[in-house]
Structures are given as C-alpha cells and as structure tokens.
Amino acid sequence: MKILIKNGHIIDPSQGLDGMGDIFIENGKIKEINMKRKAHDAKRKELLKSSVRTIDAGGLFVMPGLIDMHVHLREPGFEYKETIKTGTGAAVHGGFTTVCCMPNTYPVHDNASVTEFIIRRAAEEGSCTVLPIGAITKGQKGEELAEMGTMVKEGCIAFSDDGSPVMNSLIMRRALEYSRTFEVPIISHCEDITLTDGGVVNEGLMSVTLGLKGIPAESEEIMIYRDIALAELTGARLHVAHVSTEGSVQLIRDAKNRGVRVTAETCPHYFSLTEDAVSGYDTNAKVNPPLRTDIDRQAIKEGLRDGTIDVIATDHAPHHADEKLREFDMAPSGISGLETALGLSLGLVHEGVLTLKELIEKMSLRPARILGLDDKGLKVGSVADIVIVDLNREWKVDPGEFVSKGRNTPFNGWILKGMAAVTISKGRIYEQ
Amino acid sequence: MLKTKDLLGIKELSGEEINLILDTAAGFKDVLGRDIKKVPTLRGKTAVNLFFEPSTRTRTSFELAAKRLSTDVINFSVPTSSVVKGESLIDTALTVQALGADLIIIRHSSAGVPHFLSKNLRASIINAGDGTNEHPTQALLDAFTIKEKKGGIEGLTVAIVGDIAHSRVAKSNIYCLTKLGAKVRLIGPPTLIPKQIEEMPVAVFHSMEEGLKGVDILIMLRIQMERQGKGFFPSIEEYSKNWGITSERLAHAQRDVLVMHPGPMNRGIEITSEIADGPRSVILEQVTNGIAVRMAVMYLLAGVRRS
C-alpha cells in the first residue's frame, strides 16, 4: 500500500525536520520525505497518477509515532482487564505506535517463554509495536534474578519489577550489575513498602481528613536515593518509573548533575491532578504512587521543563469496572491512560511549559534513545510509525469511547485540547 | 432540615444542622424518660443495621433507637451474611435496599464506604463508623451530653486523649466541637497523632500534665491492644503510665471537668476505676443519650419529607 501525507507541518527534532512537506510511504516504510515545495509538486502529480491513499494533513502536525515506555497490557492472565489486542488498539487511538508492557502478568513475565508469547501475540493481533519488559526477579518476588539474558535474546528491551519494588538492596545491586552485560535499563518502581505500610493515598491533610492510610513522599524518595546510589556504584543504567514528588525530582536532578546514568519518567496524572481528586473516595483517582500535592505537581512540571524528567509515560493500568466499584482501600490502583495521555500532555504545550518539539522528545525520541531503538523517527527507510496531531481540536473525555477495556479514568468529562487525528502504525492507518 | 439524605460524617454538616440534631434529640430524650418509651413517628419504615465490623454497643443503640421510633429493624452482620460467600459490598447493599430498607446504618472497616453507598443507593445512609474516618453519631451524643451538662459548648476547652491517628471518634469530635465553638486539644504520643492534623484548628500536646491544664471536658479514647508491638509505643504499661488518666492528673483540669469515654473501656489502662466510676464521669449518661441522638438522626432523615 502507498500512502501520501500531504500539506502537513512535519516535525521531528531528531532529524532536524520542522516545516511544511510531504511524506510518502510504501510497503509500511517511509519511502520519501520531501520538504521542498517545487520538487514535491512534480512528485505529487506523478504519485497521484498511481493508486495512492492520500491523507491531507493541512493545518496538522506530522510527527514520529509516540512511544510509551510504561503500560500494562494484562495479557497473559488478566484478559478481563485488557488484552494485547485492546491495549494496542487503545495505543494507536491515543497516538502511540510503540508500547512497552510491564511484566506483572499471570504468569509473571520472568522467562523467555512469556516474552515469546507476548511478541507472537502482538504480531498476530497488535495494532502497534509491543516491546516487552521482563521481570528483574523471578515471580517479581525480589529474591532471585530472572534470566535476563535469555529474555533479551527473545526480545525484552528492559527489566522492571514494577508494582512490587525490589526491597533487598543486594539483589537490586546485582540486578543493576548484571544488566550491564546487555546494556538494558533497569526500570525501578521506587517505593519503600515497609514505609508505605498499606497506605492508599498521599500522606497529608487529605489522608487524615479522609481517614485513609497515607503514603509519605519519603516512601518514594528513599528508594530513589537508594537506586541512584546503586546506579552510581555499579555504573548501570537506571530508569526511574512514575516520578511523583518534588523531592524525587530534586534527587534525580542532583544525580544527573553528578553524571549518574539515570533517566526518569512521569505520567500525565502527576502533572494534571493533585490528591484533591481522591476526595469523595473516587477509586478512579487511586493510583500508585498516589496523586500528591500542588507543590509536587508544579515540581514535576519544572522537572519536565528543565529536562530532569526525560519521558512522559502513561502507566496505563486498565481495570475492570467491578474492581473499582468498591471500598476505596480495597480497589486496585491504576488509571487507564493511553487515550488521554496526548491530550493532557499537549496541555503542557498550550500552557507554555514545553514546546511542541520538547513534547515530541518526551513522548517519542527520549524513550527510543533510553531503550536503544535506533530505527525510530521520521527518516527514509524507517518503519512508518507516524502520528498526525491536531493541536487545537477540543474534545471531551468519554471513557465509553475508549478502545481500552479499562474505563477507569479520573478525567471523565474533561475538555482537552489537542488529539491524534490519524495514527499510522507499521504503515497501517488508524483514523479518529 | 438536613441538607442531604444521608449522615455520612460531621465534616459534611453545618453548625446549624448539628444544632438541629441536638435540639431534636432533646425532645426524644423526654420520650426515653417516660413510662412508655415509644412513639409511632417512623411506623412503617424499615432500618437495616449493616455491620461489617463486630459491634454490640453501637448496633444495640441503633436498634433500640429504631424500635423506640416504631421502625422495623433488621440486623445484618458479617458472620451470618453472604459476604463470607464472596459477595461484593455493592451487591450486598443493593440487596438490602431491595428488601425495602429506608435507612441503612453502616459500619465498615474501610473509610468512605458510607459515601460509596450514598452515591449508589436511594436509601438513607447513616455512618455508624467507617475505618479511621468518622463516627458521627458518637460525636453527636458527646456534644449532646456536654450541652446538657454545661448548658452550652461554645468557649469550652475539650481534651481528647489517646490514639488520635486511628480514632474515628476523635475525628468526628474534632469537627463537631470546633463547629460548635469549643477549643480542642489532642493529647498522646507523637506516633499516635498525625503531624498534619495540626493544620486543623486543634492544639497538640504530648504531655498529659500540660494538655490537661484548665480543660472543661476530657474525652478518653480506648487504646487498642493490637497497637502494641507495632512501634506506636513500647508497651501497654508504658502507655498507661504516660497517657492514662489518674486522679492526680485530673487535678490539672477544671474542678468541674467532665470525663467521657466512648467505650468499651480498658479499666486500669487508659482510665482508672476511681475516675470511671467517680463523680466527674458521665460515661453511662453518654450511652443513654446515644439512643436519643440516634432517634433524632433517623427521624430527620426518614421522617421528614424532603423536597
């Protein structure tokens, strides 16, 4: 199939592209990028003679497909929450062309047979590229290292015990050391669970007022500090998942200034919401780490602005409606985030926190670089993973329209400005 | 008239609404003093005690209050319910509503359960204690007792002593008493008083002697034996030595201080028998007033037609 994207504003900081132009796609790959007006008029005429699907991107931005480093696709084991098919469907609906899935499935993705299963399933049913993240330890129990090397061979691109932090510092040290063999990042869910002690919301006046057990910011910060220290000790690549507090941003900023190999991500809910969202015991706003205070929210934005935080990831965590329709402290944590992430993040561009180029870096280029994906970006010969963004279209979040099975969102009814108008993933077109 | 169909907490009430409940309760207290202690006010209504935590005192008090109002009352408690068969809370609650409950009196170990049911059910919800959030009828009966004994609440100094962090009684009392114009002090070890509570209009003390100086009302909280060995304090004995109320300590308070306790008491631990049974104690009167206050709440929620 041949596709011509014409009249769009092509923008890809990694390739130095920023201007009007056409992109021609053939057999799922980018065949030609033409930024010169005259040449492409002639070329266009020639193309239009053959059978070409033309997408008019007039008034829109054409950029590299978004890459989400942190999603939960739930398959295998929790198909009632999400499947690889529905999760990747949600991804392309939200403008993502690559997602990295966390290993807390059932069975846990701690061995190469699960890696193989996920990759095969994604090839059969997935709308976008799926890159699996394997468990650091067997069963995510924090006791014994999982077979990283075997999983890397099968296609794992990073390791994480997301959801159940590696509490034993020696095991974490060994994991970081061992990961150097394969030059893959260790993605750390930083939480001292002894300090969390069953907490369910941010510790503060809100937790006291609601009578819910609080999780102090220090629960996250102590572990970030530990992992930074271990990254420094081992020289390994540490990526800190879902940063939520002011103190965490400062710890990572200081570490980067010292030259530690650390990168970090945050999620749209940490710069869009505060703990106020849980008042009224809204289980859709229950997430781990918990929503924090406005001081934290502002610090996250500053961290994104000054580059301390490299990546915006969704931590897409779909759950079944019945699981959220229950007692607050027994409801599972998580937000179904793939289909609101771009709209919320474009808010940062409209607010002036980030430029559009910087946003593309946070949502596509930096994740690619951290994960060692060299073939990403708008360049001739690359897989056609492209998102065409309408920066100004206003739309209302309606979970009923999600492709994801998870309708658990605290953003129901929000008016967002900006969306993915068209996503092209592996050369296939998904339109709104 | 109350603004909502439910009593979820004192947090959600205005001072006016609290006073309306207390005034209504005064009328019902008269009924309780009569030879025939029953009125037909809520005949034909159905109340369900939906208790997910063991409770005898509060459940019995609600049951008696309902009976005094001629309400049909049913007790639905965990060990005999379908919850043990794995039914979800919402299904249990919807079932209770479908049985015809006008009032659902809920106690649950998770904070926010009454709020959750309120959003999903038509029946009036009365919070009989949710986790470490609130226990509004306890605070109302405490306020009623204070008002009855002291003539008013405004300007009084009230000290609440003990495990503030895990006490829904303390929380409801803080909201209730401050809304009615009292000054509230909290006394206990720092491990049992959350730091952030200082952002509320309260004064925090860690020493009994200092905190008790000049107080008009003393509310002693029950210390849970389960807190031992969890790092909140080294032992019950040490807790008792530092934060138990004794005659010597009570001498720091006003001479006409009232000593209250929501029960059940640990005699010899947070309170000595000398005080519990002494002239300053109003602990048993609290129990009696509890029925009048719960009658008032049920009447205002189910007996008054709301537009």
Residues B121 and B191 in one domain: no
| B278 and B295 within one domain | no
User: Domain limits of chain A?
Assistant: 65-370
Chain B contact present for A207, CB below 8 A: yes
Instruction: Tell me whether residues B116 and A328 touch, CB distance under 8 A.
Output: yes
Judging contacts by C-beta atoms under 8 Å, the chain B residues touching residue A280 are 115
pLDDT value of position B231: 87
Q: Residue range A323-339: average pLDDT? A: 97
DSSP-derived secondary structure letter, B57: H
pLDDT at A385: 97
What is the three-state SS of chain A?
Answer: CEEEEEEEEEEEHHHCEEEEEEEEEECCEEEEEECCHHHHHHHHHHHHHCCCEEEECCCCEEEECEEEEEECCCCCCCCCCCCHHHHHHHHHHCCEEEEEECCCCCCCCCCHHHHHHHHHHHHHHCCCEEEEEECCEHHHCCCCECCHHHHHHHCCCEEECCCCCCCCHHHHHHHHHHHCCCCCCEEECCCCHHHHCCCCEECCHHHHHHCCCEECHHHHHHHHHHHHHHHHHHCCCEEECCCCCHHHHHHHHHHHHHCCCEEEEECHHHHHCCHHHHCCCCHHHCCCCCCCCHHHHHHHHHHHHCCCCCEECCCECCCCHHHHCCCHHHCCCCECCCCCHHHHHHHHHHHCCCCHHHHHHHHHHHHHHHCCCCCCCCCCCCECCEEEEEEEEEEECCHHHCCCCCCCCCCCCCEEEEEEEEEEECCEEEEC
Q: Does domain A65-370 have CATH number 3.20.20.140?
A: yes
H/E run at residue B245: none
A326:B116 CB<8 A: yes
Cβ–Cβ gap B116/A212 under 8 Å = no
Residue of A nearest to B87 (CA): A326
User: What percentage of chain A reaches a pLDDT higher than 90?
Assistant: 94
Is B107 at the interface with chain A, CB within 8 A?
Answer: no
In a domain, B4, yes or no: no
Question: What pLDDT is recorded for position B307?
Answer: 47
- Indicate whether this complex's ipTM tops 0.90: yes
The alpha-carbon gap from B85 to the nearest alpha carbon of chain A, in Å, equals 16
Place of tokens 């703990």: A275
Do residue B148 and residue B73 come from a single domain?
no
What confidence tens digit (pLDDT) does each residue in A361-401 have? 999 999 999 999 988 999 999 999 999 999 999 999 999 99
How confident is the model at residue B80, as a pLDDT?
52
Higher pLDDT pick, B8 / A51: B8
pLDDT in tens, A258-305: 999 999 999 999 999 999 999 999 999 999 999 999 999 999 999 999
Query: Is the domain of B88 the same as that of B171?
Result: no
Average pLDDT, chain B: 94
Q: Please indicate, yes or no, whether residues B173 and B76 belong to a single structural domain of this protein.
A: no
Q: Do B116 and B174 have their domain in common?
A: no
Catalytic residues of A: 315
B5 occurs within a structural domain: no
CB contact under 8 A, A327 and B11: no
Residues B25 and B128 in one domain: yes
pLDDT of residue B290: 98
pLDDT in tens, B222-251: 998 877 778 899 999 999 999 999 999 999
Is the same domain home to B194 and B262? yes
Task: Note whether residue B2 is domain-resident.
Answer: no
pLDDT in tens, A95-153: 999 999 999 999 999 999 999 999 999 999 999 999 999 999 999 999 999 999 999 99
Low-confidence ranges of chain B (pLDDT < 50): 307
B90 in the same domain as B180: no
The answer to whether residues B185 and B272 belong to one domain is: yes
- Give pLDDT, residue A49: 66
Looking at the structure, do residues B96 and B119 belong to the same domain, yes or no?
yes
B80-96 pLDDT tens trace: 555 666 788 999 999 99
Domain count, chain B: 2
Q: Residue B47 maps to which CATH number?
A: 3.40.50.1370
Mean pLDDT of A417-421: 98
For position B76, what pLDDT does the model report?
86
Q: Are residue B231 and residue B271 in the same domain, yes or no?
A: yes
Site from A206, A218, A327, A329 to mutate, B interface, most B CB atoms within 10 angstroms: A327
Q: What is the pLDDT of residues A211-266, one digit of tens each?
A: 999 999 999 999 999 999 999 999 999 999 999 999 999 999 999 999 999 999 99
Domain of B46, in residue numbers:
15-134+287-303
B38 part of a folded domain: yes
Q: Is the peptide bond before B136 cis (omega within 30 degrees of 0)?
A: no
Is B112 in CB contact (< 8 Å) with chain A? yes
Order across the sheet with B258-260: list the strands. B202-205, B183-187, B157-161, B217-220, B258-260
